[in-house]
Amino acid sequence: QVTAKTAFLFILPQYNVSVPTADGELVQYHYGLKDLVTILFYIFIAIILHAVVQEYALDKINRRLHLSKVKHSKFNESGQLVAFHLTSVIWCLYVVVTEGYISNPRSLWENYPHVYLPFQVKFFYLCQLAYWLHALPELYFQKVRKEEIPRQLRCIALYLVHIASAYLLNLTRLGLILLLLQYLAEFFFHMARLVYFTDENNEKLFNVWAVVFVITRLFTLTLYILVIGFGLPRVENQALDPERGNFFSFLFNNILFRMSVLLLVCLFQASVMWRFIHFQLRRWREYWHEQSSRKRVAAATTSTKQQTKPLKRDSGYHENGVVKAENGTSPRTKKLKSP
């Protein structure tokens, strides 16, 4: 029994509470320090799954493609993230649909703070934190180039900050929707990179990613305005109460603070869109430059073929302006004298 209790501490989420409902009692969860033990266990699980995907899928594809070192590293990165984002999108979509967060948008801010979580919501957040924490030692295991490490560290840090903030500040419902939108756009981006590495002339999925990215940015901004601008200011309990998990809803009752937060959110989304537009313009410029260079090469090849026409050579050789056959005789037929 002692071993079983210890095993449950690593495998299952802790801090379960029986919450009375109209149909009886419902078991829900809140967070605490024991979650670190569960996260540590799933970090090792994520490392094992990472190695399985690398060994049995990505390495076999890499042997067939014969990519360069730079493309090899990017292919492995995108391959791992495609598997993770696809799994997370399906899992997150299942959670938000079964919990009714999409069908009832008011549930994103009603009854805030959302201290008690369903099992699948808490388990999803623990696995998300474990995955992004496992990405830190994977930088060493995958022998990532030094030039790529700062970029990947920034990406990992941003995900950890956003997921941990939503989990600790009891904004898990809003965090689930935002993660779903973000992972959906990231899935199409890394899928487009994989297709591009296999065939550099195929960039159609980048166009699909561009459309999905713009749509998800608009939905993200709309959600921020809806929840921060209209939802949280209408919460009944506006007092600061850290023991009950109410950390900052009272701040949103102040219109100046609320507008400042919305301004920061809009500026951040604008910077993301600016980088996206800059990336698209650079990609289109490179594409048209490549197309124009191909046309110039094709035109130059055609003109060269027209100028260099094949010369017809007579059989034999010339001697004193007279064409001689190979045996020294003249190729002209001799006139026979009439008898």
Q: Name the residue with higher pLDDT: 55 or 236.
A: 55
Residue 290, pLDDT above cutoff 70: yes
What is the pTM (predicted TM-score) of this model?
Answer: 0.82
- Please give the C-alpha separations between residue 338 and each of 105, 333, 335, in angstroms, as whole numbers: 116, 15, 9
Give the separation between CA 144 and CA 73, rounded to whole angstroms. Answer: 7
Measured over the CA atoms of residue 92, residue 94, residue 98 and residue 103, the dihedral's sign is positive
| 219-258 tens-digit pLDDT | 999 998 888 878 877 776 666 666 666 666 666 666 777 7
Which residues, 6 or more positions from 65, have their beta carbon under 8 angstroms from its beta carbon?
75, 197, 198
Question: Comparing 46-55, 204-213, 232-241, 281-290, which segment has the lowest mean pLDDT?
Answer: 232-241
Measured over the CA atoms of residue 263, residue 267, residue 270 and residue 272, the dihedral's sign is negative
- Please give the C-alpha separations between residue 113 and each of 48, 71, 104, 241, in angstroms, as whole numbers: 36, 46, 17, 10
CA–chain centroid gap for 38, Å, is 26
| 66-80 tens-digit pLDDT | 888 888 888 999 999
Give the separation between CA 289 and CA 197, rounded to whole angstroms. Answer: 20
Radius of gyration of the chain (CA): 33
Of the candidates 191, 176, 156, which has an alpha carbon nearest to the alpha carbon of residue 86? Answer: 191
Backbone angles phi and psi of 171, in degrees to 5: -110, 40
For residue 212, the model assigns a pLDDT of 94
Burial of 125: CB neighbours in 10 Å, binned 0-12, 13-18, 19+: buried
Q: Which two tokens stand for residue 338?
A: 């009439």
For residue 237, the model assigns a pLDDT of 64
Which residues, 6 or more positions from 152, have their beta carbon under 8 angstroms from its beta carbon?
77, 135, 139, 144
The owner of tokens 């099992």 is: 119
Burial of 262: CB neighbours in 10 Å, binned 0-12, 13-18, 19+: middle
For residue 53, the model assigns a pLDDT of 94
